[in-house]
Amino acid sequence: MSSYPYPPLIPGDPREVADRVAEALAAAWQELEDSRLSVLARILAGGGHWRLAHVLATIEEYKQAITEFSARVDEEAQAFVSRQLPYLYEQGAERVQLPDGGPFTWTKAHSDALQSLAADSYGDFLRRSQEAQRMAEVWYRIARQAARETVPRTATGGTTALQAAKKLADRLGGRGLNYVIYRNGARVPVRAWAESATLAKSAVAYNSGTLNRAVEAGVRFMQVFDGSGCGWTSHDDPDKANGTVRTVEEAAEQPIAHPRCLRAFGPRPDLGDL
């Protein structure tokens, strides 16, 4: 495995950061898959080294790849939630122009809100990586069991080493890991999932900063700025969002409508209690 090639994440434009995070996570997933394919290729090309101890040692290298994969995903997720999310939350809070004119400060309420956002975001990345890790560990266990069942047979004269190697490789094919599986069974390329998830978490953090700053100032209503065709709860919701006025509670429940949502909020202190 090569050393981790990505420099520390620098907070900034959500799309640039999402692209950076997606590229890093996709690379980690791909390197894990490359390691699996390398194990298969080396088993098939075992030649004179076709012995159980050698095959098991080759498979064992994949376990180290799983450990490195987990560490890399964790590193990238930690960087995103500890650097980008606080930056965007603060940006969203600072854009709010309120009658009190006071600057934004990190009160306990804001810190608590950010901590909740960070935990949710990190948990999402972690759940996806743990699923990939689980799949990888299943493959590792199957590979070891298949090797123990297949390799000893070459000593009985029933099959050649090359035939046994091909049989084992056939059993261990498939099970690719460079995608994310949703609950409905859909398989999404890791890069597309990571970019979408990062953009969604970024938008929620920015809007949460805006909304919580407005609440702090006693504002009860927010004006919604969104794509002209975007619905309130989803892109296709007939309840169109752009230009509408919603309570801060409604806005907090629906900070975005979908992962690449353009939604933003502006405080309306002039509306009072309506």
229 and 207 in a common domain = no
| Cβ–Cβ under 8 Å, residues 116 and 234 | no
With respect to residue 267, please indicate whether it lies within any of the assigned structural domains. yes
Could you please report the per-residue DSSP string of 196-226? Answer: HHHHHHHHHHHHHHHHHHHHHTT--EEEEE-
Q: What is the pLDDT of residue 131?
A: 86
Q: What is the pLDDT of residue 2?
A: 47
Q: What is the pLDDT of residue 149?
A: 75
Q: What is the pLDDT of residue 46?
A: 63
- Tell me how far apart the alpha carbons of residues 135 and 168 are, in angstroms, rounded to a whole number: 19
With respect to residue 205, please indicate whether it lies within any of the assigned structural domains. yes
Domain that holds residue 70: 14-218
188 and 170 in a common domain = yes
- Per-residue pLDDT 10s for the chain (274 aa) are 445 566 778 888 999 999 999 999 999 999 988 988 888 888 777 655 567 787 888 888 889 999 999 999 999 999 999 999 999 999 999 988 766 667 889 999 999 999 999 999 999 999 888 888 888 888 888 888 877 877 665 555 555 556 666 676 676 666 567 778 777 878 888 899 999 999 999 999 999 999 999 998 889 999 999 998 899 999 889 999 999 999 999 999 999 999 889 999 999 988 876 5
Q: What is the pLDDT of residue 142?
A: 83
241 and 212 in a common domain = no
Domain termination site, one of 202, 218, 234: 218
Domain count, the chain: 2
Phi then psi for residue 224, to 5 deg, are -100, 135
151 and 64 in a common domain = yes
226 and 205 in a common domain = no
